[in-house]
Structure 1
Amino acid sequence: MPPTKKPRSRRRTLRQILGGVRRRARRAAGGLRRLWRRSLQLQVVTSTLVISVIVVVVLGTFLSDQINKSVVASRQSSSANEAFADRVQIADALNQKADDQGPDASTRPEVLDQVMDTITGSGDNGSKKRYEVLILNDSPRGSRASGNVMPENVPPSLRQRLEQKSNYDKAQAYLGPIQFTGEVQAKPTLVIGGLVHLNSGEVYEVYHFFPFGEEEQMLSNVRLAIVVVGFGLVLLLAAIAYLVTRQVVTPVRLARQAAERLASGKLDERLKVRGEDDLARLATSFNEMAANLALKIHQLEELSQVQRQFVSDVSHELRTPLTTVRMAADLLYDAREDFDPMASRSAELMQAQLERFESMLADLLEISRYDAGAATLDLDSVDVRDVVLRAIADSEALAERHTTRFELRLPNEPCMAEIDNRRVERILRNLLFNAIEHGEGRDVVVTVGADRDSVAVAVRDHGIGLKPGEDTMVFDRFWRADPSRARTIGGTGLGLAISREDATLHGGWLQAWGQQGEGSQFRLTLPRSAGADLKGSPLSLVPPEIEMRRTWRGHMTPVLLPASGDSGYESVYDGGYDGHDED
């Protein structure tokens, strides 16, 4: 067993190392992508650098090729002229000796030696030439060579071309590496071969070996110079692009930073204006915009303050006459049995509307406190399950009148959280009243869930539901899903708006989900500790049965649903469902 476990352990360690390397590579690539997307200066400099490299490479290649062709062609032309002059000199010397001495060629080797010394510059009065010469003839003493040149150094392809009838009177050239005797490595050499025809009918093969070492060195220096100059040119263009883009991007970056500070509420933020160019005019326009925006915001704040103060003052001032009217209405309502039926019904209606009016005044005062930023929390560590039970107890009478039952799904363990007991209970009452009003007499499901950081309460009804887009509009003040439908429980239209403000004051979420024909669900999520940031909710916003149907349609796709009876989760999978919903 140990030998089997070791390879597995090594493979597991190798996979972990490779996984870590891939993760670091992905993070590095992601960081580079973010840097590329966020930096205009980097984009411009990189684009300029890439284009400059392409242009320099193309131009450098073209120049190097042209210089190489020019040098090689010039060297080949001069070498061909020198080789032709040597062949003429050899032919003249041999023909003249033959004319002076007749057909006897016993002294011809001496003539070849003299001619070889003359054309290679190896004589007493000559200067040594840069090239070597090889003369070949079928006679035993008809071949001569200078330096370390051997007949084996003649390229076979050159000799074959020289022997072809079509090239019999033409000189042939070969440029390539030649391995000379005694040399360590082959050297680039230009070999020019030609035939010398004597009057006696004899033919001599003359080969000139022109070394190309100096030309090769010169071309290497030229290529190195082109690379160095090109690299310096690319860096220079990149530096120029950096400086130019910095002159443009820096004011834009300052404008962005000023705009961010302006958006954060620093209305006195302004840009420095330098010069009269386009960027200076941009700064001037930005400052004018900021000044006008600050003025408009100040005016709107004053108007809003006036409106909030008006609502608050009206609400307070209405309380005094409302108290008097309420006292009179109570007397009339208590004595309604002594009135005729029409007057008795009027007293009942007046009593109900006065109660609604009082509730609306209380909601308006609460809204005005939120608008003025004067709302505060009275925090206490409580069990959210107890708050839910109290809210349900307050709603039972209304639920009985609408023939609605509550279905509770509470966890077994306490769900402690630092909350304002009064405000959270008001949120739950508003959610329950709303579910009763729109539930059309069907059961209302109340679910409580909790995790390490947060607690949540979901209120689910099975009424008419919400249309697409209404899940956010439902929290607007005085909003109704159906304006033609009258309120059956006397609500003010501010309950959900106040509930959302209460949730936000706790640092929590109040969210809604709805689907026509499927009802709706409201979810309240609060942090366990006051001031903590929420990262998620222990309950799903979409009801479990709706998620289950989506799971069935998705064929074996797992979905997390809140497990009944505790705060955990259970996975629901497709169990061979055929894809059709059931009622």
Structure 2
Amino acid sequence: MAETGSRGSTRRAWRRVRLFAQRTWLRIKRLVRPILDPFITLWSRSLMVRTMTITGVVTGAMIASAGVFVLTSVSNDLYSSRRDQALQDSARATVAAQGLLDSFDTADRGGLSSLASSVTQTVQDTSASQMIFVRRQIGQTPFLEIPSSFDTTSVLVQAVSAELTASVRSDGEPQHWQPVTFYRDGGDSSPGIIVASSLTFPSGAGVFDLYIGYDLADTEQTLAFVARTLLLTAIAMMLFIGLLVLVISRIVFRPIRVAADTSRRLAAGEADARMPRQHDEHFDVLSDGFNDMADTLQARIRELDQLSIMQQRFVSDVSHELRTPLTTIRLASEVLKGEQDSLGAGQQRAVEVLSTQVERFELLLTDLLEISRYDAGRVTLETEPTNLVHLVDEVVASLQQLSPSVIEIRALGGYTPVDVDARRIRRIVSNLVGNAIEHGEGHPIVVTIDSNADATAIAVRDWGVGMSEQSVTHVFDRFWRADPSRKRTLGGTGLGLAIAREDAAVHGGLLDVWSRLEEGSQFRLTLPKREDVTDYMSPIPLVPEDVDSSTYQTDVTGGWLKRPFRRILRAPREGRS
């Protein structure tokens, strides 16, 4: 049981450690992210920034490595030189002091008291250092005529370590040295070297240890000066290399920037934009190829524009030219229809068919003229404040008699007047409700109106045959029919939905559709409330609420819509408050 409790406490301790590490990492990320995010953005977007950064890091690492190597080499050389000088100087002073001791008259017992000061003076005169410390070796019998230790400064006495003392006593080498740090009363410190040797005093006075200290403060200052010089040189080199890399990068990437700028100008519609030559073998090939491509594209665009203009002119001219014979045919049809009572049954049926087809022909010509205006970009909007709920009521009331089922209106919003071209919006709603009647298979039809702060939407829902996903992608194409074998009951021309989408786009709105086989369809018209609204969310979801949206990958919540761009002409608004 005790072992189990120990394991549990260990797991809890590791869990606390992990939680602490996670919290620390999150704090570091929160602190570092505001600093690194701008650089990460530049790194991911700019090839020149990546090139300069990599070059700077590699160059900085090389300069730092070279600086550390040079500084280490200079430091080692200086230290080795000063150490060798100290050893030579100490050996010379030791020999001079031992010579003084050997020449001392052993019969002169009175001179032993001044011998210590003579030894100190001799070492000072011979050595380059004035830090002297002489001490009787530990374990020897005291000698009253000579003091057990004498020195010139307490800084050296404090720096002598027990290890150095033991090595001098136990080892037979003539010299021993040790790197130390000298601490002074004012708190200052400096590196140094202590060289230790032995002196044998006469008259049985014993063996004394001679310690000579060498201050390396001047060497430290020299190294600091070298380090500052290397640092300033490294900074200057980094700045110079950075400037050099910046200039070279701008020179190297200039053709790429020119190509990008030229491509942007071409995309913006400047057909005469061309890429200048860069006086480089490879980039000149790129420039020539880019310019040839631009020339080819310009020629093809001109051909397509000319063909489009010719096609639009042809449709417009044919539509206008057909109106005269169509008017004559319609007048003849009306004359025949007026004399229908005097005709036989077969002739009466022929007159009815002729009248119906003439009306359908007139509608087709009208739609062709309208679609040609959109293709030519010569659409004029006559906007006025319009209540969309009242407009939908009027359209539904006019089409209710043609529907075998009830058309329900759900006005959840949209009562505030919106500046639109009422004739075009009425045409959109009429087309959508007419399609619902056409394909609703006698099921109820629901027209929903709703609005939010930025947009107003109208949705027409039917529970008819519906369409497949492939058919939905073509439903707004001109003269396209989901089922060509189906008979038109309301006399459509095949251009209704195409014109309806253009009518929606010219208002800055969007007409989209949801449909599924055997579950019906829903068309949704979304219009912005103001001209300055560019992004808006439709107040009505595209997928009806009665549909299982989890099995259908589409816009369920309405989704953000972006206002399409259309070049239109607006007529003066009359009757506005």
TM range (shorter): 0.7 to 0.9
Cα distance in structure 1, aligned partners of 2:46 and 2:408: 56
Task: Tell me the residue number matched to 1:84.
Answer: 91
Alignment of 1:28-427 (within 5 A): 34-97=41-104, 101=106, 107=111, 110-121=114-125, 129-130=128-129, 132-138=131-137, 139=143, 140-141=146-147, 143-147=149-153, 151-163=157-169, 165=170, 167-169=171-173, 171-180=175-184, 184-196=187-199, 202-326=206-330, 335=340, 339=344, 352-400=356-404, 404-411=405-412, 414-427=415-428
Runs (5+) with no aligned partner, structure 1: 1-21, 552-557, 562-583
Task: Tell me the residue number matched to 2:571.
Answer: none
CA contact (8 A) 1:385 1:414 kept: yes
Tell me the amino acid that sits aligned with residue 66 of structure 2. L
CA contact (8 A) 1:458 1:539 kept: no
CA contact (8 A) 2:408 2:446 kept: yes
Post-superposition shift, 1:65? 2.5
Task: Tell me the residue number matched to 1:504.
Answer: 505
CA contact (8 A) 2:262 2:274 kept: yes
Structure 2 vs 1, CA of residues 150 and 287 (structure 1 numbering), >3 Å: closer, same or farther?
A: closer
Tell me the amino acid that sits aligned with residue 512 of structure 2. Q
Cα distance in structure 1, aligned partners of 2:155 and 2:419: 103
Structure 2 vs 1, CA of residues 189 and 466 (structure 1 numbering), >3 Å: closer, same or farther?
A: farther
Cα distance in structure 1, aligned partners of 2:231 and 2:69: 12
Post-superposition shift, 1:229? 1.2
Structure 2 vs 1, CA of residues 434 and 129 (structure 1 numbering), >3 Å: closer, same or farther?
A: same
Task: Tell me the residue number matched to 1:542.
Answer: 542
Once the two structures are superposed, what CA deviation does each residue of 1:292-333 show, in whole Å capped at 9, x if it has no partner? 322221111111111111222222233334444455556677
Post-superposition shift, 1:350? 5.3
Cα distance in structure 2, aligned partners of 1:32 and 1:367: 51
Alignment of 1:372-521 (within 5 A): 372-400=376-404, 404-411=405-412, 414-468=415-469, 471-482=472-483, 487=488, 489-521=490-522
Structure 2 vs 1, CA of residues 141 and 559 (structure 1 numbering), >3 Å: closer, same or farther?
A: same
Cα distance in structure 1, aligned partners of 2:181 and 2:311: 97
Cα distance in structure 2, aligned partners of 1:149 and 1:535: 82
1:269 is paired with a residue whose SS is coil
Once the two structures are superposed, what CA deviation does each residue of 1:264-316 show, in whole Å capped at 9, x if it has no partner? 21212234435345444444443333333222211111111111112222222
CA contact (8 A) 2:539 2:558 kept: no
Post-superposition shift, 1:213? 0.1
Structure 2 vs 1, CA of residues 264 and 101 (structure 1 numbering), >3 Å: closer, same or farther?
A: same
User: How many residue pairs get matched?
Assistant: 518
Post-superposition shift, 1:511? 2.2
1:270 is paired with a residue whose SS is coil
Structure 2 vs 1, CA of residues 93 and 130 (structure 1 numbering), >3 Å: closer, same or farther?
A: closer
Cα distance in structure 2, aligned partners of 1:413 and 1:499: 20
Post-superposition shift, 1:336? 9.5
Cα distance in structure 1, aligned partners of 2:250 and 2:282: 15
Cα distance in structure 1, aligned partners of 2:485 and 2:74: 90
Once the two structures are superposed, what CA deviation does each residue of 1:475-504 show, in whole Å capped at 9, x if it has no partner? 222334455655554433221111111112
Post-superposition shift, 1:421? 1.5
Structure 2 vs 1, CA of residues 29 and 189 (structure 1 numbering), >3 Å: closer, same or farther?
A: closer
CA contact (8 A) 2:452 2:539 kept: no
Once the two structures are superposed, what CA deviation does each residue of 1:115-153 show, in whole Å capped at 9, x if it has no partner? 4333322xxxx6x71452322115443534335555333
1:408 is paired with a residue whose SS is strand
Tell me the amino acid that sits aligned with residue 83 of structure 1. S
Cα distance in structure 2, aligned partners of 1:258 and 1:179: 72
Give the TM-score normalised by structure 1: 0.77
Cα distance in structure 2, aligned partners of 1:142 and 1:244: 75
Structure 2 vs 1, CA of residues 58 and 435 (structure 1 numbering), >3 Å: closer, same or farther?
A: farther
1:545 is paired with a residue whose SS is coil
Structure 2 vs 1, CA of residues 516 and 488 (structure 1 numbering), >3 Å: closer, same or farther?
A: same
Alignment identity in percent?
A: 33
2:361 is paired with a residue whose SS is helix
1:473 is paired with a residue whose SS is coil
1:440 is paired with a residue whose SS is coil
Structure 2 vs 1, CA of residues 150 and 190 (structure 1 numbering), >3 Å: closer, same or farther?
A: closer
Once the two structures are superposed, what CA deviation does each residue of 1:53-87 show, in whole Å capped at 9, x if it has no partner? 33333332333233222222222232223323433
Tell me the amino acid that sits aligned with residue 444 of structure 2. D
1:501 is paired with a residue whose SS is helix
1:536 is paired with a residue whose SS is strand
CA contact (8 A) 1:460 1:543 kept: no
CA contact (8 A) 1:176 1:189 kept: yes
1:275 is paired with a residue whose SS is coil
Cα distance in structure 1, aligned partners of 2:371 and 2:396: 24
> Greater CA deviation, 463-472 or 379-388?
463-472
Runs (5+) with no aligned partner, structure 2: 1-28, 138-142, 560-577
Post-superposition shift, 1:426? 0.7
Post-superposition shift, 1:507? 2.0
Cα distance in structure 2, aligned partners of 1:114 and 1:486: 136
> Greater CA deviation, 460-469 or 441-450?
460-469
Structure 2 vs 1, CA of residues 437 and 93 (structure 1 numbering), >3 Å: closer, same or farther?
A: farther
CA contact (8 A) 2:524 2:542 kept: no
Post-superposition shift, 1:467? 4.2
Tell me the amino acid that sits aligned with residue 366 of structure 1. E
Tell me the amino acid that sits aligned with residue 133 of structure 1. I
CA contact (8 A) 2:467 2:521 kept: yes
CA contact (8 A) 2:528 2:536 kept: no
